[in-house]
Structure 1
């Protein structure tokens, strides 16, 4: 029997300006655009999954993580690269037992980073 647990999933992010989003996701984040055209939807390949970016009047209204990237041991290098491209990182000082340095929250060996796209969608990097 077919089960949802066996199917590939993708993240999807709403944006207000598709060209501004294209610049951010393609140039700032360095994602490879795989498909462009389906009614203004941009499809990026991210590892073995996809990130879909689409125009919506509700862009940026989500107040939780929209996308999570598992960066493993590359997290510091990725954060450094994003910083040189002008990305500002969020700081959540109320997280108990978590240190913050150079845009990276650390708890034990686990590292977490949050930043926003131009519409305020929250993107999350971790070292899991």
Structure 2
């Protein structure tokens, strides 16, 4: 039924202007469209990320968005860190610098300005 249809991620934010700056300038996503000043749609690879203003922003305590970045994970982490992104560190997991490592898997987590958890991995 839904397997033949595309999907996209959606993230709630409290301040649409701050979110625009973070997702466009910090993460480098292309702003594809804006609807009534309350919904932003960013291009992210072959999919889209929708960001909308909501009073419930930042209440999700689980991953909101994941990007599989392949072998670029280290370079992307370095670029984001240089832009001021702070990475989450989970003490129960092995880590090299900001990157959690488990066998061949390399993973990082960080938050947007509302506390939404964003995730990169090398898969």
User: Which category of TM-score, normalised to the shorter sequence, fits these structures?
Assistant: over 0.9
Shift, 1:102, TM fit = 2.0
Tell me what 2:43 maps to: 45
What's 1:119 paired with? Answer: 114
| Within-5 A mapping of 1:1-128 | 3-38=1-36, 40-95=38-93, 99-128=94-123
Supply the distance in 2 between the matched residues of 1:59 and 1:76 (Cα, whole angstroms). Answer: 29
Paired with 1:74 and 1:8, the residues of 2 have a C-alpha distance of 25
Comparing 30-39 and 110-119, the one that deviates more: 30-39
Listed as ranges, the gaps of 5+ residues in structure 1 are none
Q: Which moved more, 1:32-41 or 1:65-74?
A: 32-41
User: Take 1:90 and 1:53, find their aligned partners in 2: how far apart are those partners?
Assistant: 22
Counterpart-to-counterpart distance in 2, 1:30 and 1:102: 23
Q: Is contact 2:16-2:37 (8 Å) kept? A: no
For the Cα contact (< 8 Å) 2:14–2:54, is it kept in 1? yes
CA RMSD of aligned residues (A): 0.9
Distance (Å, rounded) in 2 between the aligned partners of 1:89 and 1:5: 33
> How many Å apart are 1:36 and its aligned residue?
1.1
Query: What SS does structure 2 have at the residue aligned with 1:94?
Result: coil
Output the CA distance in 2 between the equivalents of 1:12 and 1:5. 18
What CA distance in whole angstroms lies between the structure 1 residues aligned with 2:70 and 2:43?
A: 18
